[in-house]
A and B are shown apart, each in its own frame.
Chain A
Amino acid sequence: GAVVSQHPSWVICKSGTSVKIECRSLDFQATTMFWYRQFPKQSLMLMATSNEGSKATYEQGVEKDKFLINHASLTLSTLTVTSAHPEDSSFYICSAIIRGRLPYTDTQYFGPGTRLTVL
Protein backbone atom coordinates (compact mmCIF):
# COMPACT_ATOMS: atom_id res chain seq x y z
CA GLY A 1 0.00 0.00 0.00
CA ALA A 2 0.82 3.70 0.14
CA VAL A 3 1.92 4.04 -3.47
CA VAL A 4 2.31 7.46 -5.04
CA SER A 5 3.01 7.68 -8.75
CA GLN A 6 4.22 10.52 -10.92
CA HIS A 7 3.99 10.99 -14.64
CA PRO A 8 6.09 11.57 -16.59
CA SER A 9 9.26 10.31 -14.93
CA TRP A 10 11.31 12.58 -17.12
CA VAL A 11 10.58 15.27 -19.66
CA ILE A 12 12.63 17.45 -21.97
CA CYS A 13 11.04 20.57 -23.37
CA LYS A 14 11.91 23.74 -25.20
CA SER A 15 12.15 27.06 -23.43
CA GLY A 16 8.82 28.86 -23.37
CA THR A 17 6.63 25.79 -23.40
CA SER A 18 4.50 24.53 -20.51
CA VAL A 19 4.87 21.15 -18.87
CA LYS A 20 2.33 19.31 -16.74
CA ILE A 21 3.35 16.77 -14.11
CA GLU A 22 0.80 14.45 -12.55
CA CYS A 23 0.89 13.02 -9.05
CA ARG A 24 -1.48 10.21 -8.12
CA SER A 25 -2.14 8.31 -4.93
CA LEU A 26 -2.85 4.82 -6.23
CA ASP A 27 -4.30 2.99 -3.26
CA PHE A 28 -5.51 5.69 -0.91
CA GLN A 29 -7.26 9.01 -0.94
CA ALA A 30 -5.11 12.04 -0.31
CA THR A 31 -6.77 15.24 0.77
CA THR A 32 -3.37 16.86 1.03
CA MET A 33 -0.46 16.60 -1.36
CA PHE A 34 2.84 18.43 -1.47
CA TRP A 35 5.14 19.49 -4.27
CA TYR A 36 8.89 19.67 -3.76
CA ARG A 37 11.82 20.67 -5.86
CA GLN A 38 15.26 19.17 -5.45
CA PHE A 39 18.47 20.50 -6.90
CA PRO A 40 21.46 18.20 -7.41
CA LYS A 41 23.01 17.04 -4.16
CA GLN A 42 20.62 19.16 -2.14
CA SER A 43 17.70 18.58 0.14
CA LEU A 44 14.07 18.94 -0.84
CA MET A 45 12.58 22.39 -1.07
CA LEU A 46 8.85 22.56 -0.40
CA MET A 47 7.12 24.52 -3.14
CA ALA A 48 3.46 24.28 -2.19
CA THR A 49 0.78 22.44 -0.27
CA SER A 50 -2.13 21.21 -2.34
CA ASN A 51 -5.52 20.57 -0.78
CA GLU A 52 -8.31 18.87 -2.68
CA GLY A 53 -10.94 21.28 -3.84
CA SER A 54 -9.13 24.43 -2.79
CA LYS A 55 -6.31 26.66 -3.91
CA ALA A 56 -2.77 25.59 -3.22
CA THR A 57 -0.71 27.30 -0.57
CA TYR A 58 2.65 28.37 -1.92
CA GLU A 59 5.86 28.77 0.04
CA GLN A 60 7.53 32.12 0.16
CA GLY A 61 9.46 32.85 -3.00
CA VAL A 62 7.58 30.38 -5.20
CA GLU A 63 5.78 32.03 -8.09
CA LYS A 64 2.21 30.81 -8.11
CA ASP A 65 1.64 32.00 -11.67
CA LYS A 66 4.61 30.04 -12.88
CA PHE A 67 3.94 26.83 -10.97
CA LEU A 68 0.23 26.14 -11.31
CA ILE A 69 -1.11 23.49 -8.99
CA ASN A 70 -4.49 21.82 -9.30
CA HIS A 71 -5.86 19.22 -6.92
CA ALA A 72 -9.10 18.27 -8.61
CA SER A 73 -9.70 14.93 -6.94
CA LEU A 74 -8.71 12.95 -3.88
CA THR A 75 -6.17 10.97 -5.89
CA LEU A 76 -4.72 13.47 -8.34
CA SER A 77 -2.72 16.67 -8.12
CA THR A 78 -1.02 18.32 -11.07
CA LEU A 79 1.86 20.77 -11.29
CA THR A 80 2.15 22.82 -14.46
CA VAL A 81 5.38 24.68 -15.08
CA THR A 82 4.32 27.51 -17.35
CA SER A 83 6.63 29.15 -19.86
CA ALA A 84 9.49 26.99 -18.70
CA HIS A 85 13.04 28.27 -18.80
CA PRO A 86 16.36 26.48 -18.31
CA GLU A 87 16.52 27.60 -14.67
CA ASP A 88 13.33 25.59 -14.04
CA SER A 89 15.23 22.41 -14.83
CA SER A 90 15.11 20.33 -11.69
CA PHE A 91 13.83 17.17 -10.04
CA TYR A 92 10.22 17.62 -8.94
CA ILE A 93 8.79 15.31 -6.30
CA CYS A 94 5.27 15.08 -4.98
CA SER A 95 4.02 13.50 -1.80
CA ALA A 96 0.70 12.61 -0.24
CA ILE A 97 -0.40 12.12 3.32
CA ILE A 98 -2.02 9.02 4.67
CA ARG A 99 -4.15 10.13 7.59
CA GLY A 100 -3.69 8.14 10.76
CA ARG A 101 -6.16 7.62 13.55
CA LEU A 102 -4.74 10.68 15.22
CA PRO A 103 -3.18 13.68 13.46
CA TYR A 104 0.32 13.02 14.70
CA THR A 105 0.25 9.53 13.26
CA ASP A 106 -0.02 10.83 9.68
CA THR A 107 2.74 9.73 7.31
CA GLN A 108 3.84 11.39 4.11
CA TYR A 109 4.59 9.13 1.13
CA PHE A 110 6.56 10.30 -1.87
CA GLY A 111 6.32 9.79 -5.57
CA PRO A 112 9.33 8.67 -7.64
CA GLY A 113 9.99 12.15 -8.97
CA THR A 114 10.00 13.84 -12.37
CA ARG A 115 13.18 15.14 -13.92
CA LEU A 116 12.50 18.22 -15.99
CA THR A 117 15.08 19.50 -18.44
CA VAL A 118 14.36 22.74 -20.25
CA LEU A 119 16.52 23.42 -23.28
Chain B
Amino acid sequence: AQSVAQPEDQVNVAEGNPLTVKCTYSVSGNPYLFWYVQYPNRGLQFLLKYITGDNLVKGSYGFEAEFNKSQTSFHLKKPSALVSDSALYFCAVRDISTDKLIFGTGTRLQVFP
Protein backbone atom coordinates (compact mmCIF):
# COMPACT_ATOMS: atom_id res chain seq x y z
CA ALA B 1 0.00 0.00 0.00
CA GLN B 2 1.11 3.53 -0.74
CA SER B 3 1.71 5.89 2.15
CA VAL B 4 3.56 9.02 3.14
CA ALA B 5 4.65 10.16 6.55
CA GLN B 6 5.26 13.66 7.81
CA PRO B 7 7.08 13.18 11.10
CA GLU B 8 6.77 16.76 12.30
CA ASP B 9 3.46 18.29 13.35
CA GLN B 10 5.00 21.75 13.38
CA VAL B 11 8.15 23.40 12.15
CA ASN B 12 9.25 26.79 13.43
CA VAL B 13 11.80 28.89 11.58
CA ALA B 14 12.93 32.49 11.64
CA GLU B 15 12.30 34.65 8.62
CA GLY B 16 15.26 34.61 6.26
CA ASN B 17 16.48 31.22 7.44
CA PRO B 18 16.28 28.10 5.30
CA LEU B 19 13.37 25.79 5.95
CA THR B 20 12.83 22.06 5.54
CA VAL B 21 9.56 20.19 5.87
CA LYS B 22 10.11 16.46 5.95
CA CYS B 23 8.28 13.71 4.09
CA THR B 24 9.05 10.03 3.69
CA TYR B 25 7.20 7.63 1.45
CA SER B 26 6.45 3.97 1.10
CA VAL B 27 5.29 2.76 -2.32
CA SER B 28 5.35 -0.29 -4.49
CA GLY B 29 6.66 0.71 -7.87
CA ASN B 30 7.63 4.20 -8.97
CA PRO B 31 6.67 7.02 -6.62
CA TYR B 32 4.66 9.99 -7.86
CA LEU B 33 5.03 12.56 -5.11
CA PHE B 34 3.40 15.92 -4.51
CA TRP B 35 3.54 18.85 -2.14
CA TYR B 36 0.54 21.06 -1.46
CA VAL B 37 0.10 24.08 0.80
CA GLN B 38 -3.08 25.07 2.60
CA TYR B 39 -3.75 28.52 4.01
CA PRO B 40 -6.44 28.97 6.69
CA ASN B 41 -9.95 28.21 5.48
CA ARG B 42 -8.71 27.58 1.97
CA GLY B 43 -8.28 24.59 -0.29
CA LEU B 44 -4.94 23.11 -1.19
CA GLN B 45 -2.58 24.81 -3.61
CA PHE B 46 -0.25 22.72 -5.74
CA LEU B 47 3.44 23.48 -5.11
CA LEU B 48 5.40 20.86 -7.00
CA LYS B 49 5.60 17.23 -7.99
CA TYR B 50 8.15 14.54 -8.68
CA ILE B 51 7.42 12.15 -11.50
CA THR B 52 10.77 11.21 -12.94
CA GLY B 53 14.03 12.86 -13.92
CA ASP B 54 16.03 15.27 -11.80
CA ASN B 55 15.96 14.60 -8.10
CA LEU B 56 15.68 18.31 -7.32
CA VAL B 57 12.26 19.60 -8.26
CA LYS B 58 11.55 23.31 -8.35
CA GLY B 59 8.06 24.58 -7.68
CA SER B 60 5.97 27.62 -6.90
CA TYR B 61 6.86 30.47 -4.53
CA GLY B 62 10.56 29.55 -4.43
CA PHE B 63 9.98 26.09 -2.97
CA GLU B 64 11.87 23.04 -4.07
CA ALA B 65 11.94 19.41 -3.04
CA GLU B 66 14.62 16.79 -3.16
CA PHE B 67 13.74 13.24 -4.10
CA ASN B 68 16.02 10.74 -2.37
CA LYS B 69 15.39 7.17 -3.41
CA SER B 70 17.81 5.57 -0.97
CA GLN B 71 16.24 7.35 1.98
CA THR B 72 12.70 7.21 0.52
CA SER B 73 12.31 10.89 1.26
CA PHE B 74 10.89 13.91 -0.51
CA HIS B 75 11.64 16.85 1.76
CA LEU B 76 10.34 20.30 0.91
CA LYS B 77 12.86 23.12 1.13
CA LYS B 78 13.20 26.84 0.68
CA PRO B 79 16.47 28.76 1.00
CA SER B 80 14.98 31.79 2.74
CA ALA B 81 11.67 31.61 4.59
CA LEU B 82 9.05 34.37 4.53
CA VAL B 83 6.43 35.08 7.18
CA SER B 84 3.86 34.60 4.42
CA ASP B 85 5.02 30.99 4.02
CA SER B 86 3.34 30.18 7.33
CA ALA B 87 0.70 27.59 6.45
CA LEU B 88 -0.13 23.90 6.55
CA TYR B 89 1.90 21.73 4.18
CA PHE B 90 0.85 18.34 2.89
CA CYS B 91 2.96 15.71 1.21
CA ALA B 92 1.09 13.22 -0.97
CA VAL B 93 1.72 10.18 -3.12
CA ARG B 94 -0.42 9.28 -6.09
CA ASP B 95 -1.81 5.82 -6.57
CA ILE B 96 -1.64 5.63 -10.35
CA SER B 97 -4.10 2.72 -10.53
CA THR B 98 -6.91 4.68 -8.84
CA ASP B 99 -5.93 8.34 -9.40
CA LYS B 100 -6.19 8.81 -5.65
CA LEU B 101 -3.83 10.97 -3.66
CA ILE B 102 -2.74 9.60 -0.31
CA PHE B 103 -1.94 12.48 2.00
CA GLY B 104 0.35 12.78 4.96
CA THR B 105 -0.96 14.20 8.20
CA GLY B 106 0.34 17.66 7.41
CA THR B 107 3.01 19.88 8.91
CA ARG B 108 2.28 23.35 10.16
CA LEU B 109 5.04 25.77 9.24
CA GLN B 110 5.38 28.86 11.37
CA VAL B 111 7.80 31.52 10.20
CA PHE B 112 8.62 34.12 12.82
CA PRO B 113 9.66 37.68 11.93
Contacts and interface: CB of A to CB of B under 8 A. Distances in A.
Interface of A: 2, 4, 6, 32, 34, 42-44, 46, 49, 91, 93, 95, 97, 103-113, 115
Range, interface on chain B: 20 to 34
B49 interface: yes
A103 to B, nearest CB: 6
Contacts, number: 60
A104 B43 contact: no
Contact of A111 (B43, B90, B99): B43
A49 B99 contact: yes
Given A34-B100, A49-B100, 8 more contacts: A32-B99, A42-B105, A43-B105, A49-B98, A93-B44, A97-B99, A103-B96, A104-B52
Nearest to B9: A41
Given A43-B90, A104-B51, A113 B41 contact: yes
